[in-house]
């Protein structure tokens, strides 16, 4: 693990490379150097209807980014592909609970490799599936769009889901990071943070701006408004 930033900062911004220029990824990664995490969306054309990055992009992010590398595996059978992603040395590996029968084993394998373990839920997947692993994960990624594509609209019901996840974590006396992914911009960041999330993934709302550093600062500023109103 590069450092303990995942445990120490109150709010983290994670630009998603899915919205970057794939033809010049090293340059795109350099343009977001003030972000805390770089989010790498791995898609296999099976778990989601799109194909994007593999382990090489995770490795490239590792080599070119000073903060944490967040590998979001939107793939079927993450058990089979896990070692290839471990070798690329991200700081966080997020797998989908819908894609495996052995979430507990995956979490153990990720931890054994010295990597933060994170589990993701699609919009239709209930929080209750986390009951028996909530004490073992470092982060939960709540999808606020159906995974596969950037630029989709935020699903409003996500806000209630974040609150229910925070409640479940509280009952179990743990504080996993809560990352939210899809349709996030300055207009809804405060509301999402106010509901209990603390890591915001943003693709199009950052990479559509010529000045990515300013876009990241604006999103962080908007998110901070929600922190002061946290229930």
Question: Which listed option, Zn ion, ligand DX5, none, makes contact with residue 184 (CB within 5 to 8 Å by class)?
Answer: ligand DX5
Question: Which listed option, ligand DX5, Zn ion, none, makes contact with residue 55 (CB within 5 to 8 Å by class)?
Answer: none
Reference 166, options 193, 201, 132, 186; nearest CA is 193
Catalytic residue among 41, 44, 70, 198: 41
Question: Which listed option, Zn ion, ligand DX5, none, makes contact with residue 188 (CB within 5 to 8 Å by class)?
Answer: none
181 binds Zn ion (CB under 5 A): yes
Catalytic residue among 70, 91, 181, 198: 181
Q: In the bound complex, what is the minimum distance in angstroms from residue 174's beta carbon to ligand DX5? A: 24
Alpha carbon distance 80, 72 (integer Å): 15
- 174, HSE (Cβ side, Cα atoms, 13 Å): 18
Alpha carbon distance 127, 139 (integer Å): 13
Q: In the bound complex, what is the minimum distance in angstroms from residue 222's beta carbon to ligand DX5? A: 14
Interface residue with Zn ion among 15, 28, 29, 41 (CB under 5 A) is: 41
Identify whether the C-beta of residue 112 lies closer than 8 Å to the C-beta of residue 130.
no
Of residues 3 through 22, those in contact with Zn ion by CB under 5 A are none
96 binds Zn ion (CB under 5 A): no
Question: Which listed option, Zn ion, ligand DX5, none, makes contact with residue 36 (CB within 5 to 8 Å by class)?
Answer: none
Contacts of 86 (CB under 8 A, 6+ apart): 93, 109, 110, 113, 115
Of residues 66 through 85, those in contact with Zn ion by CB under 5 A are 72
Identify whether the C-beta of residue 14 lies closer than 8 Å to the C-beta of residue 39.
yes
**Is residue 41 among the annotated active site residues?**
yes
Q: Can you give the binding site for ligand DX5, defined by CB under 6 A?
A: 16, 18-19, 39, 41, 72, 145, 147-152, 181-184, 201-205
Cα 164 from chain centroid?
Answer: 18
Identify whether the C-beta of residue 9 lies closer than 8 Å to the C-beta of residue 18.
no
Q: How far separated are the first and last CA of the chain, in Å rounded?
A: 31
* Catalytically annotated residues: 41, 181
Q: Which chain residues interact with Zn ion by CB under 5 A?
A: 41, 72, 181
């Amino acid at each position: 693990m590069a450092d303990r930033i995942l445990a120490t900062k109150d709010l983290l911004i994670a630009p998603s490379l899915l919205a970057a220029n794939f033809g010049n990824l090293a340059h795109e990664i350099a343009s977001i150097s003030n972000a805390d995490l770089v989010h790498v969306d791995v898609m296999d054309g099976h778990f989601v209807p799109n194909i994007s990055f593999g382990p090489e992009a995770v490795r490239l992010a590792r080599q070119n980014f000073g903060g944490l590398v967040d590998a979001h595996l939107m793939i079927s059978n993450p058990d089979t592909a896990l070692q290839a992603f471990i070798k690329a040395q991200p700081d966080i590996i997020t797998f989908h609970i819908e894609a495996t029968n052995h979430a507990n084993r995956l979490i153990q394998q990720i931890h054994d490799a010295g990597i933060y373990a994170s589990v993701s839920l699609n919009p239709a997947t209930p929080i209750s599936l986390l009951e028996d692993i909530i004490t073992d994960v470092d982060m939960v990624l709540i999808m606020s769009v159906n995974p596969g594509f950037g630029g989709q609209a935020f699903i409003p019901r996500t806000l209630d889901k974040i609150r229910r996840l925070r409640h479940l974590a509280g009952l179990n006396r743990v504080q996993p990071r809560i990352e939210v992914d899809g349709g996030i911009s300055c207009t809804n960041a405060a509301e999402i943070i106010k509901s209990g999330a603390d890591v915001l993934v943003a693709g199009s709302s950052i990479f559509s701006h010529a000045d990515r550093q300013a876009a990241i600062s604006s999103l962080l500023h908007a998110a901070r408004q929600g922190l002061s109103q946290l229930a």
